[in-house]
Amino acid sequence: MKAPIKIFAGSNSEHLAAKIAEAAGLSVGESSIIRFSDGEFETAYEETVRGAHVFIVQSTYPPADNLMELLLMIDAAKRASAYKVCAVIPYFGFARQDRKDRPRVAIGAKLVANLLMAAGVDRVMTMDLHADQIQGFFDVPVDHLYGSSVLLPYVEELKLDNLVVASPDMGGSKRAHAYAKYLHADMAICHKRREKANVVGEMTAIGEVDGKNVVIVDDMIDTAGTITKAADMLKEKGAKSVRAIASHAVLSGPAYERIENSSLEEVIFTNSIPLKEESSKIKSLSIADIFAKTILNVYNCESISSNFIL
């Protein structure tokens, strides 16, 4: 007898989990969280998971509490005799800490991988990791999905002429090149110099943008300092229009205000992280279908590569 499939939601991803479950023809399982006055909390399943293939949907942003909740849910499922437990983490927090880039710092992404495996996770499903090598931090299978599956069709529907795909920095050039190749577009790179974390100094463009419709591609937008500075610089260099697409709407601090006051015509995200407020320039596209298909493919031991565009 095949193990039943069950989808559960962490408190930060209830809306996305409901959409994923609906797309998969399932319903979200019953779970609860009890919060104590000192900040401690306790998770519990309100239905049996014995012998079940359990998928727990939880983006870890903000990272600390949501990661801890995910760890507790994994542990609870394993102790309740779940057959397999898969952590579905559309946005993987601490992914920017993927290496020691200066002395005496932690490799946060590796620590998170160790914590997930210590909790008993059997598989991880995520999307657009900040660094691909994070997959190698795990000793369990990692299904790495791509926001391009929903972002690229949106760009195609715009039917922009003289299209240029731009990377906001040198580190994103591989991603921008893949998007440009798929869209048969030219490519540009915004070269920046950071003064310190989340603070951008001087910026210039490598590539022709005069009279072009530019789409800046990134994996996440945090404070929006880089992306808005890049958009303003590209407009100054003669770009006809500037848009941005990114998988993860971290949008902390002054991000919403910066986007609203920038030269960006629109910014398109996936719904891996719920938007904190509305903006006339910000649009969110659902990734529920691609995660639902991948969950069902994994459950049925089928290939997931057909779900990718790039």
Residue 290 near residue 307, CB atoms below 8 Å = yes
Q: What's the order of all strands across the beta sheet hosting 142-145? A: 5-9, 53-57, 84-89, 123-127, 142-145
Task: Report the Cα 18 to chain-centroid distance in Å.
Answer: 17
Residue 171 has phi, psi (to 5 degrees) of -65, -25
Six token digits for residue 237: 């260099």
Residue 258 and residue 199: Cα distance in Å, rounded?
13
Residue 252 near residue 265, CB atoms below 8 Å = no
Six token digits for residue 46: 């309100």
Residue 84 near residue 3, CB atoms below 8 Å = yes
- Which amino acid, one-letter code, is at 124? V
What residues are labeled active site? 192
Strands 267-270 and 53-57: unpaired
Residue 97 and residue 60: Cα distance in Å, rounded?
14
Contacts of 64 (CB under 8 A, 6+ apart): none
